Amino acid sequence: MKKWITPIVVLLLLIVCVITIPQTTVNYDMTKYLPDHSLTKQGLKILASEFGKESSIQVLVMDIEVNHLVELKQAILEVENIRSVIWLDDYVDVSSVPIFAIDSSILQEFYQEGDALLTIVFSQDGYDVTLEERIRQIEFILEGYTIHLRGEVINNITSRNIASQEIIKIIFLILPVIIGLLILSGHSWIEPLLVLITLGIAVVFNVVTNGLYSQISFITQTMSLALQLALSIDYALFLIHRFYDERESKDAVEASKSALKHSFKPITISALTTIAGFGALAIMNFSIGMDIALVLGKGILFSYLSTILVLPVLLVVMDKWIIATKHRRFFPSFGFIAKIQRTIALPLVIILISLIGIGFVGQLQTTYLYSTSSASAEDSVSSRDALMIEERFGVHSQLVILLPNGDINQEIALVHSLELHPHVNGVFALVNQTDPSIPREYLPSSLVSYFVGTTHSRMIISVDLQKENAELYQFINEIKQIIGSEYENYYLVGEASAIVDIRDSVMSQSLLITVLTIFAVGSIVGIIFKSIKIPVIIVATILGSIWINVSILAIQDIQVLYIGYLVVMSIQLGATIDYAVLFTHRYMEERAVKGKKDAFEEAFTKSSVSILISGSILTVVGFFEGFFSQIDSVKQIGYLLGSGAFISMLMILLLLPGALYYFDRWIIKKFKVTSE
């Protein structure tokens, strides 16, 4: 009966969590993670408080007559939460002026060859989930016409739909691969079941307890489940394989106790290095780092607890089935390969160290991106719609400028300066939408309230830049200089300004995060081996893997998402370093009783399978996330992680053994070992 106590307690705890913890709220707005001192974040608060919530979409209606469009526009205006519908008839009386007589500079923005472009403004935040119903109502009104939509609201709806579908899709895609690899490396047909039950409990606890946070990002939600599984699968394997060894001479209960006793230290160390790898992300001013660190760090902790508390009980309960379903290990012996590896170790070390040097130089040339908000495949409906509208009517991107209320002449001067910039398509302000000489109390109140708030006035500028690149960064800096020449205090709000704020925030802490990650992981490794020299070799091996990984993208001229780089660096340093620790620990054990040649071959033979399986699982999870995800940021993190795990695995198998072998005297002095 005692063996059932732990499963019953775990089940009761899970039920309590499900009942008492609120459902996780998923956030799709990356500006919420900006630091409080960000001008974009401050500007968004002022914009909401003084002008109310607002968002917009553009709708391209194909092959429609002007008169009919005016009628449909009125129907759209009656939809709940629609503040305005902007079209040509707001600037020209289309009922009396024929189309051919309208100024082409105005006409081309709204109507081309029978196709009309409407801008629909909602009185709701762009992330409001009810907007999806408003979109459906608009589509119903325009039924019978071919339409294309683009805008912030469309992007957010796409992100939600994709994120909600991807989690289950990717898990079901990677599970068969993981099960296959576990069968190849295991001794029993039900071993994969034991692993999946153990880690499945941890995953469920992690998902449920995410509701303790006010919200988590859609990026974190999408990738955390698969990563938790891939990063912590080692823990279960360490314990199960030790159980097989102990079971040869003990009964199931004693074997389970002994297995936990002997594997507790390496499992604990593995969990600590992984959590430490995420720890440095938590100090980021751009607090999505904290979001990722908390969720994945908590997931690793649950996996660790499930492994040391639940798995030993499962091994006892399932002992008869484990024995009954035993099979031979399908992986071949690595003894012969170990001998070859030792023979060519020196040239491999020289070549790979040189490659690390090249990687260090190459990664300095990498171009990084800082936007994390896009979530659509190039062949998706939303992407095709946006491209269709862009080809007909150009890029649609807006920035809002918030200025202190006051000097009208100052506003006029700023408008004129902004209009001269080549990337500014137009400036919309009260001073150029009406005669500025007319006292504002005589203007329509609805018009004045749109541009003038309690303490701030707003201008909206339309720009022809949208893609994140150096030109966009330069444009934002130039716009800030233009505004700064007229106003000391102002706020710039929009996707482009948010990207620049994210960039500035992340870059200011880049070196600190890297150093802290290296220090945290290196310190744990140093404490394990009671040595300063061993962590230098191990951390240098993983750092070299990271540089090579990023430099390959630089050579291919692929832009790298910077937050993705930081996450993958943390994972590579915190998780793949486990493989290096495993090999080094085995080498030191063998070296204590054997010469370094025999220790090299024994360590390589006994640890290669575990390294290959663990590294392969993380590689598969990464590439599957990258290949199957439609969220750009998750795709980037997936590909980076997949290639990074694969390179780390190769470097640990090819460089680390030779480095330990040829630096043997340097690192072995503190240990009691046999002579050569």
| 41-64 pLDDT tens trace | 888 888 888 888 888 888 999 998
Neighbours of 15 (CB within 10 A): 10
Rounded mean pLDDT, 16-31: 77
In angstroms, the Cα distances linking 463 to 30, 52, 419 are 21, 23, 10
Instruction: For the chain, give percent helix, strand, coil, nearest 5.
Output: 70, 10, 25
Q: Are 129 and 55 in contact (CB under 8 A)?
A: no
What are phi and psi for residue 595, nearest 5 degrees? -70, 165
pLDDT of the residue at 675? 44
For 489-544, the three-class secondary structure string (H helix, E strand, C coil) is CCEEECHHHHHHHHHHHHHHHHHHHHHHHHHHHHHHHHHHHCCCHHHHHHHHHHHH
pLDDT score of 480: 92
pLDDT of residue 335: 65
Please compute the mean of the pLDDT values over residues 552-575 and round it to a whole number: 81
Per-domain boundaries in the chain = 36-150, 157-365+500-667, 382-493
Alpha-carbon distance values, 430 to 401, 437, 439 (Å): 13, 11, 12
Per-residue CA distances from 13 to 10, 17, 55, 182, 204 (Å) = 5, 6, 42, 29, 11
Backbone angles phi, psi at 456, to 5 degrees: -130, 150
SS3 string, 207-235, reads HHHHHHCCCEEHHHHHHHHHHHHHHHHHH
Cα gap 504→492, rounded to integer Å: 15
Q: Which residues, listed in sequence order, are joined to residue 122 by a DSSP beta bridge?
A: 55, 82
CB 116 within 8 A of CB 61: yes
* Residue 332: pLDDT band with limits 50, 70, 90: low
Asked whether the domain spanning 382-493 has the same topology as the one spanning 36-150, the reply is yes
d(CA 460, CA 440): 19
CA distance 108 to 106: 6
Cβ contact 54:123 at 8 Å:
yes
Q: Minimum mean pLDDT among 99-103, 243-247, 273-277, 423-427: which range?
A: 99-103
Beta-bridge mates of residue 121: 56, 84
Residue 326 pairs with which residues in a beta bridge? 188
Residue 573 Cα distances to 121, 377, 516, 517, angstroms: 47, 30, 11, 8
Answer yes or no: is pLDDT of 377 > 70. no
Q: What average pLDDT score do residues 14-19 get?
A: 73
- For range 23-50, the mean pLDDT: 84
β-pair partners for 427:
461
Most confident of 316-330, 588-602, 636-650: 636-650
pLDDT of res. 307: 93
- Residue pair 578/262 in contact (Cβ under 8 Å)? The answer is no
Q: Kindly give the pairing relationship between strand 115-122 and strand 55-61.
A: antiparallel
Tokens of 156: 């957010």
Averaged pLDDT, 563-588: 81
Q: Is the pLDDT of residue 633 over 80?
A: no
d(C-alpha 197, C-alpha 181), whole Å: 16
Distance CA 673, CA 589 (A): 9
> In CATH terms, is domain 382-493 a member of 3.30.70?
yes
What is the spatial distance between Cα 74 and Cα 68, in angstroms, rounded to a whole number?
Answer: 10
Could you please state the CATH topology (level 3) that the domain comprising 36-150 is classified under: Alpha-Beta Plaits (3.30.70)
Cα(3)–Cα(80) distance, rounded to whole angstroms? 59
Residue 40's pLDDT is what?
86
What is the dihedral sign for C-alpha 607, 609, 612, 614? negative
Predicted local distance difference test score (pLDDT) of residue 298:
92
Identify the weakest region by mean pLDDT among 209-218, 287-296, 373-382, 643-652. 373-382
Tell me if 489 sits within 8 A of 495, measured CB to CB: no
Q: Is the pLDDT of residue 263 over 90?
A: no
How far, CA to CA in Å, does 168 sit from each of 212, 463, 469, 505, 629?
22, 39, 34, 33, 11
Question: In this structure, are residues 244 and 262 in contact, taking their beta carbons and an 8 Å threshold?
Answer: no
User: Of how many residues is the chain composed?
Assistant: 676
Q: What percent of the chain has pLDDT over 70?
A: 95
pTM of the entire predicted model: 0.81
Round to whole Å and give the CA distance between 654 and 660. 11
Q: Which two three-digit tokens encode residue 410?
A: 């100052």
- pLDDT at position 159 over 80: no
Q: Are 192 and 170 a contacting pair, CB within 8 Å?
A: no
Residue type, 54: E
* Residues 400/493, Cβ–Cβ less than 8 Å: yes
pLDDT at 499: 85
What percent of the chain is predicted at pLDDT more than 90?
8
Whether the pLDDT of residue 580 is over 60: the answer is yes
Closest CA to 29 of 227, 282, 222, 288: 288
For the stretch 108-144, pLDDT in tens is 888 888 888 898 888 888 888 888 899 999 999 998 8
Binning pLDDT at 50, 70 and 90, where does residue 375 land?
A: very low
The band of 333, judged by pLDDT with boundaries at 50, 70 and 90, is low
pLDDT digits (tens, 9 = 90+) for 468-526: 788 888 989 999 999 988 888 899 988 888 888 888 887 777 788 888 888 888 888 88
Residue 2 has a pLDDT of: 61
- Our separate counts of H helices and E strands in the chain read 27, 13
Average pLDDT, the chain: 83
Closest CA to 198 of 318, 78, 101: 318
